[in-house]
Amino acid sequence: MSHKHEALLRTIFQDPVSGNVHWREIESLLHHLGATVEPGHGARFRIVLNRVEGFIHHPHNSSTCTKNDIKQLREFLAHASVSLSAYEAEKK
């Protein structure tokens, strides 16, 4: 995993939740992790990662995701067995 993706993963799982994450960075991370990202209804995107399906909301008026969007992404990644600790264990 590149340093950029590792830093983004840390940002997603940190507390307090960051409000400064851009959609294109999230999309890049998801593709890097092997996820399928497809447009859904409206501003929603269907994501499949490690056989786990989820929907993530694309920001409307800016490219920056809300804190709630990041919380939902964090939950999705956790259900798909992607976490910072799992990444660090894999790195060793």
> Would you say residue 38 has pLDDT above 90?
yes
Section 36-55 average pLDDT: 92
| pLDDT attached to residue 42 | 83
In the prediction, which pLDDT does 1 show? Answer: 61
Ordered by start, the domain boundaries in the chain are 3-91
- In tens, the pLDDT along 12-37 reads 999 999 888 999 999 999 999 999 99
What confidence tens digit (pLDDT) does each residue in 68-86 have? 999 999 999 999 999 877 7
Secondary structure of 44-65 as H, E, C letters: EEEEEECCEEEEEECCCCCCEE
Q: Are 79 and 53 in contact (CB under 8 A)?
A: no
